[in-house]
C-alpha cells in the first residue's frame, strides 16, 4: 500500500502478529519497496478464528531515509464487540 512518502507491506496470518511480521522479514516481502528510497513499514496482523477479526497487529519500520533506527510497536485490539 502506498501512502504519501511511505510504503506499507501487510501480512495477515492465522497465527500471531509477530509470526506474520517475521514472515515478511524472512521472505523478503519488503525488499522491492526498500530500494525505492521511501520509508517502508511492515505490518503483521494476527487473525482470531474465534473472534473472526484481527486480534492484534505489530508494525516495524523497515527503512527510514536518513535514519538507521528501527521502530516496532505491538497493538492488541479490543475483543469486546458488543454494541451496548
Please, are residues 10 and 35 in contact by the beta-carbon 8 Å criterion? Answer: no
pLDDT of residue 13: 81
pLDDT of residue 22: 92
* Spatial CA neighbour of 34 closest among 64, 12, 11: 64
What grid cell was written down for 33? 519497496
Distance CA 6, CA 71 (A): 14
Residue located via cell numbers 500500500: 1
Q: What is the pLDDT of residues 5-45, one digit of tens each?
A: 778 888 888 889 999 999 989 998 888 887 777 888 899 99
Report domain extents, the chain: 2-76
Look at the pTM and tell me if it is higher than 0.85: no
Q: What is the pLDDT of residues 45-77, one digit of tens each?
A: 998 888 888 889 899 888 766 554 444 444 444
pLDDT of residue 33: 82
Amino acid at each position: 500500500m502506498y501512502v504519501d512518502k511511505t510504503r506499507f507491506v501487510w501480512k495477515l496470518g492465522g497465527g500471531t502478529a509477530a509470526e506474520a511480521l517475521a514472515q515478511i522479514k524472512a521472505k523478503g516481502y519488503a525488499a522491492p519497496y526498500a530500494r525505492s528510497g521511501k520509508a517502508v513499514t511492515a505490518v503483521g496482523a494476527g487473525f482470531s478464528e474465534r473472534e473472526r477479526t484481527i486480534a492484534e497487529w505489530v508494525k516495524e519500520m523497515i527503512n527510514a531515509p536518513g535514519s538507521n533506527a528501527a521502530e516496532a510497536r505491538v497493538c492488541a485490539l479490543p475483543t469486546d464487540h458488543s454494541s451496548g
